[in-house]
Structure 1
C-alpha cells in the first residue's frame, strides 16, 4: 500500500479498506482516462477528495502506491500458484490464470510497473522471471516443451501471449479460466513436443 516509515503504526482495518477503495478507484479512473484528476479518482473510489488527499499527498504518490500495490498482487499471484512438486502443466495453468486476473484487473498499474524504475518493482519482476524460467525448464524436462526449445524464447513468447490477451478489451471480458486454457494451449501447441 502506501509507503510508511519503519516506525509507523500499521493502518487500522477501516483505514486499510479506505486505501484499497482509493487504489481500486484510481485503477478504474486512470484506466478510463490516464489524465484523471484526484477528484475523479475520489469519485470512482466513492470517497471525498479530502480523504484521498489525507492518504496521498500528490497524484504521483497515489499512482506510485497503485503501481507498488499491483506489483505486490502480481508477485502474490505467482507465488501462490508456483509449486516445485505439482506437475508443470498444473502450475502453468494456475500461474497463467492468476497473472491474467491481476493484469486484467489492474491493467493501468501493471502497464506502469513495466516501465517503472523503482528498484523494488524491478526486483519483483526479476524474481517472477526466474520462477517462470524454472517452470519452463521443468516443462521441457517433462516433455511438455520440445527438448530443443530455448527457455528465454519460450518465456518471451509466453509473456507476449499474456500481454496481448490483457491488451484486448474484448478478450478480457471472457472468463480468466477460458483465456488461460486458450493461452496455454497456444503456447504448448506452438512449442510442444
Structure 2
C-alpha cells in the first residue's frame, strides 16, 4: 500500500510540475497538452483531477503549503524577527520560481488554498509587526515586502552592482541568501544605501 501511495504521489507531483510549465507558457493550455508534457495519458490526469480547475486548485494548495512550510522552517514564533524574515525570504525565493503560474493568481481558487495563504500572510504580518514595532503600517509593509519578493524571484536582474550579470538571473539560480539580504535591506532602508 505504501509503495502504491508513493507512486501515486510522485505521479501527481509530475503532473503538477508539467502543468506548471505548460500553463506558465500558455495559461489556456488544455488537459491534453498537460498530459502530453507529463508523459501520461489524458485519462491518468482525469483519474487524479476531475477537471482543469481541480488540477489548478491542487497546484495552488501544494504551492501555498510549500510556502507555509518554508515560513515555519524560519521559526517565526521563536527566532528574532530579522532572522526569521531573512530565512523565510531565502526559503520562499527558492520556491516561487517553481510555481510562477500558480502563485501569480491574486486569490487562489479553492477555500483550502485561501486558508493556507491567509495563514502565511498572518505570519508575515506578525513578523513584520515585531520587526517594525508599534505605529508601523503593517499592511503597507507587507504589500511592499511581497512586491520586493516577487521582483527578486522573477524580475530582471539590475544592470549594475554586485548582483548583476547573466549568472545572477533568477532562472540561473541566484543566491537566495544574497537576494533575501537585498529584499530586506530595501524594505528596511529603501533603495539608497550609504557605503
Q: Give the whole-Å Cα distance in 1 for the aligned partners of 2:135 and 2:55.
A: 46
CA deviation after TM superposition for structure 1 residue 190, in Å: 2.2
- The SS at the match of 1:82 is coil
- The SS at the match of 1:106 is helix
Q: Give the whole-Å Cα distance in 2 for the aligned partners of 1:152 and 1:59.
A: 33
Q: How does 1:15-26 map to 2 (within 5 A)?
A: 15-26=8-19
Q: Give the whole-Å Cα distance in 2 for the aligned partners of 1:72 and 1:100.
A: 15
Q: Which stretch of structure 1 is more off in the superposition, 93-102 or 170-179?
A: 170-179
* Structure-1 residue corresponding to 2:145: 158
Flag the 1:72–1:151 CA change in 2: closer, same or farther, 3 A.
Answer: same
Unaligned ranges ≥5, structure 1: 1-8, 142-146
TM-score of the pair, normalised by structure 2: 0.79
- The SS at the match of 1:116 is coil
CA deviation after TM superposition for structure 1 residue 62, in Å: 1.3
CA deviation after TM superposition for structure 1 residue 35, in Å: 1.4
Identify the match of residue 50 of structure 1 among 43, 50, 69: 43
Q: Is the 8 A contact 2:57 2:113 kept in 1?
A: no
* Structure-2 residue corresponding to 1:86: 79
Q: Is the 8 A contact 1:67 1:110 kept in 2?
A: yes
CA deviation after TM superposition for structure 1 residue 148, in Å: 5.2
Unaligned ranges ≥5, structure 2: 158-168
Q: Give the whole-Å Cα distance in 1 for the aligned partners of 2:39 and 2:176.
A: 27
CA deviation after TM superposition for structure 1 residue 117, in Å: 4.8
* Structure-1 residue corresponding to 2:58: 65
Q: How does 1:98-113 map to 2 (within 5 A)?
A: 98-112=91-105
* Structure-1 residue corresponding to 2:182: 182
Q: Is the 8 A contact 1:107 1:166 kept in 2?
A: no
Q: Which stretch of structure 1 is more off in the superposition, 182-191 or 64-73?
A: 182-191
CA deviation after TM superposition for structure 1 residue 61, in Å: 1.7
Pairwise CA RMSD: 2.5
Q: What is the total number of aligned residue pairs between the two structures?
A: 177
TM-score of the pair, normalised by structure 1: 0.79
- The SS at the match of 1:149 is coil
Q: Is the 8 A contact 2:22 2:34 kept in 1?
A: yes
CA deviation after TM superposition for structure 1 residue 156, in Å: 1.8
1:108-166 deviation line (CA, Å, top 9, x unaligned): 11123x3235332222222222211221122135xxxxx75322222221112112333
1:162-190 deviation line (CA, Å, top 9, x unaligned): 12333426542223333212111211222
